[in-house]
């Protein structure tokens, strides 16, 4: 990390296929937010490189990439975006998407990340999300979501390892947003939760 400083952050949280990436990208286009998806970082690595091969061995199976490797790659990406001034920590709230994904990662990112709010996007209809993931897999050529067994493993891992992350944050820090609305409706609920957080951030800019 380039600065010994904790970045003010928002966590977009929820199961696979719930629209975190779509909403995160939209949010990232609003001045004052910078969206960083670990899944996107992993997909951008050259799969012929040793690091890329190692990552792909897990992502293609729908399994979590080991914590040490995940944190190392994620910090490298974050450092690069700070160095390029794409992410300006004094001005922008960092929108985390895909990390922390287990309880151990909540501590591992703690030195660098100050979570100001958690937006939990939830969906009670797992079959609907599986359907969405398969459609996206075709559209975006994503190997992990083309195979039903891999998708189901991603959900099992979410339930067993990721969902407990929510218990690491105080309930008053968490907004729950239902994913089944239209994308504009979901966006509106997310913005409603985040506008006060951004206003506070602008007040406290140093
Ligand atoms: P996503 O695009 O967020 O669904 O992530 C795609 C895949 O990348 C996941 O199924 C995991 O294999 C891997 N991945 C993403 N974020 C993490 C993380 N924080 N820890 C470990 N593996 C991750």
Break the chain into its structural domains and give their ranges: 7-36+89-199
Ligand 1 centroid, distance to 57 Cα (angstroms): 12
Which pLDDT value is given to residue 206?
60
Among 7, 14, 161, 10, smallest CA distance to 75 is for 7
Q: What is the dihedral of CA 22, 23, 28, 34, to 10 degrees?
A: -100
Ligand 1 centroid, distance to 86 Cα (angstroms): 22
pLDDT higher than 70, residue 3: no
pLDDT higher than 80, residue 143: no
Instruction: Return d(Cα 113, Cα 128) in angstroms, integer.
Output: 33
In the CATH scheme, what is the code of domain 7-36+89-199?
3.40.50.300
Question: How many residues are listed for the chain in this entry?
Answer: 206
| Ligand 1 neighbour 70 (Cβ under 6 A) | yes
0.85 exceeded by pTM? yes
CA-closest residue to ligand 1 atom 15? 39
Atom of ligand 1 minimally distant from the CA of 42? 8
Peptide bond into 100 cis (omega under 30): yes
Ligand 1 centroid, distance to 203 Cα (angstroms): 34
Ligand 1 centroid, distance to 11 Cα (angstroms): 14
* pLDDT, tens digit (0-9, with 9 covering 90-100), for 7-52: 999 999 999 989 999 999 999 999 999 999 999 999 999 999 999 9
């Amino acid at each position: 990390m380039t600065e010994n400083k904790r970045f003010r952050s928002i966590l977009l949280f929820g199961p696979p296929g719930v629209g975190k990436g779509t909403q995160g990208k939209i949010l990232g286009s609003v001045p004052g937010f910078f969206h960083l998806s670990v899944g996107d970082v992993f997909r951008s690595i050259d799969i012929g490189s040793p690091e890329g091969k190692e990552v792909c061995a897990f992502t293609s199976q729908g399994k979590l990439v080991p914590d040490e490797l995940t944190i190392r790659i994620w910090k490298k990406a974050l450092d690069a975006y700070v160095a390029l001034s794409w992410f300006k920590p004094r001005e922008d709230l960092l929108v985390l998407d895909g990390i922390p994904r287990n309880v151990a990662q909540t501590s591992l990112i703690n030195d660098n990340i100050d979570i100001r709010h958690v937006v939990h996007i939830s969906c009670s209809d797992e079959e609907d999300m599986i359907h969405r993931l398969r459609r996206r897999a075709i559209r975006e050529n994503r190997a992990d979501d083309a195979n039903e067994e891999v998708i189901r493993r991603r959900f099992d891992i979410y339930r067993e390892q990721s969902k407990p992350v929510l218990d690491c944050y105080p309930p008053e820090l968490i907004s729950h947003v239902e994913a089944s609305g239209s994308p504009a409706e979901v966006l509106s609920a997310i913005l409603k939760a985040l506008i006060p957080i951004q206003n506070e951030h602008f007040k406290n800019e140093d």
